[in-house]
Amino acid sequence: MKRIAVIALLGLGIAGILWADALSINGAGATFPNPIYSKWFDEYHKKNPNLQINYQPIGSGGGIKQVTEGTVDFGATDGPMNDEQLKAYQEKHGSAILHFPTVLGAVVPTYNLPGVSTSLNFTGEALAGIYLGKVTKWNDPLIADINKGVKLPAEDIVVVHRADGSGTSYCFTDYLSKVSEEWKTKVGKGTSPNWPVGLGGKGNEGVTGTVKNTPNSIGYVELIYAEANKIPYGSVKNADGVFMKASLASVTAAAAAAAKEMPDDFRVSITNAKGKDAYPISTFTWLLIPAKFSDNAKRDALRGFVTWMLADGQNYAEALSYAKLPKEVVAKEKKALANIQ
């Protein structure tokens, strides 16, 4: 009996030590990178069994809010924090919050035109016109002139957008704001803009469902969603005048073009990027990591994770349809890791 008790106690003690050693880090934020983040945290946990990173995909806005409140150790967002939000964080914590790009995504125009099977071309001007409600027919010269040889119907365009606040809408309206002065002044960029026209669908699946169900409609979805669900999508004319179809390569090309002008805080928009291979409606997605940690173990663990993510982690991206970071950005981020203290 005694021996059993001793062994049991010993076992409990060891379990206790192991338990104490296991470090748990919590994060929350963007839903768009959730598949790759889950994969990364899982793989990293296999390499470092004592470190468990938990991630809740509650949306970019929620991620920014929670990391500012201090209820999670790190956040994640599809649109960089604005100056006001950075200031709010600084005031609350007395230190800064840092942006670390992880992978890239893109937004693609999708449509339902009965009788048209070829892939359509779009320009920023045409997309802005359609979403402003000024281009109302499919055979409008703005669309017809860039789609020579396609028989476009003289039907009304049914516009579909995201109804829920979303980083996808942010990226799309950020692009429209850059290519259309009228869009910039009338609507602007944001996660839930005040859409001049159109039907709202909830989530990528809501937009896709509405587009599929409605003849002569147009919508926009994330590239990985379109790829995973085999949804046809059109090409968009980039800043160099080339019609580009979104692909992992053309998205990375947009990031590479922007990398040269990358600011030190990594808050950069890469929509309408220069370069003939760049897809114009692309975006980084970021981790939000506090510059100051009170817990050194957590600091070291997160630094370790980001280092791994920038090297081995990137290799998991393409299998899940995310575009990898360009080399220049990886190098710059490695240097920036020293800012986490």
Partner 1 sequence: MATASTSLPSAGPASDSRALLSRLRDGDEIARLITFIFAATVVLISILLVLELWHDSALPRHKFGFAFFRTTTWNPIEGEFGALPFIYGTVVTAAVALLIAIPLGIGAAIFLAELAPTRISDTLEFFIDLLAAMPSVIYGVLGVFIVVPLMRQFIAPWLKRILGFLPLFQGPAYGVGFLTAGIVLAIMVIPYIISVSREVLLSVPSDQREAALAVGSTRWESTWKVVVPFARSGILGSIFLALARSLGETMAVAMVIGNDPKISASLFAPGYSIAAVIANELAEATSELHTQSLIALGLVLFLLTFILNGLARILIVVTSQRGAGTARA
Alpha carbons 217 and 81: distance in angstroms, whole number: 33
Q: Is the CA virtual torsion 306, 307, 308, 312 positive or negative?
A: positive
> Is 60 among the residues that bind partner 1 (CB under 8 A)?
yes
Binding residues for partner 1, total number by CB under 8 A: 35
Alpha carbons 145 and 143: distance in angstroms, whole number: 6
Q: Residues 85, 235, 282, 285: which binds partner 1 (CB under 8 A)?
A: 85
**Who contacts 3 (Cβ-Cβ below 8 Å, separation ≥6)?**
none
Q: Looking at beta carbons only, is 38 or 56 nearer to partner 1?
A: 56
Q: Looking at beta carbons only, is 222 or 333 nearer to partner 1?
A: 222
Q: Looking at beta carbons only, is 72 or 257 nearer to partner 1?
A: 72
> Is 208 among the residues that bind partner 1 (CB under 8 A)?
no
CB-based contact 159:197 (threshold 8 Å) = yes
User: Residue 288: what are its φ and ψ, rounded to 5°?
Assistant: -110, 110
> Is 193 among the residues that bind partner 1 (CB under 8 A)?
yes
Q: What is the CA radius of gyration of the chain?
A: 23
The CB-of-266 to partner 1 minimum distance in angstroms stands at: 19
Alpha carbons 256 and 248: distance in angstroms, whole number: 12
Q: Looking at beta carbons only, is 189 or 299 nearer to partner 1?
A: 189
Token duo for residue 338? 């020293």
User: Residue 80: what are its φ and ψ, rounded to 5°?
Assistant: -60, 155
Alpha carbons 117 and 269: distance in angstroms, whole number: 33
* Burial state string for 79-92 with b = 16 or more CB within 10 A and e = fewer than 16: bbbeeebbebbeee
Q: Are strands 158-162 and 199-201 parallel, antiparallel or unpaired?
A: parallel
> Is 163 among the residues that bind partner 1 (CB under 8 A)?
yes
Q: Residues 102, 121, 191, 208: which binds partner 1 (CB under 8 A)?
A: 191
> Is 135 among the residues that bind partner 1 (CB under 8 A)?
no
Q: Residues 190, 267, 332, 339: which binds partner 1 (CB under 8 A)?
A: 190
Q: Residues 23, 152, 199, 242: which binds partner 1 (CB under 8 A)?
A: 199
Q: Residues 33, 124, 206, 326: which binds partner 1 (CB under 8 A)?
A: 206
Q: Residues 165, 320, 336, 339: which binds partner 1 (CB under 8 A)?
A: 165
> Is 71 among the residues that bind partner 1 (CB under 8 A)?
no
Q: Residues 158, 224, 262, 302: which binds partner 1 (CB under 8 A)?
A: 158
Per CB under 8 A, residues contacting partner 1 are 58-62, 64, 82, 84-85, 156, 158, 163-167, 187-195, 198-202, 206, 209-210, 213-214
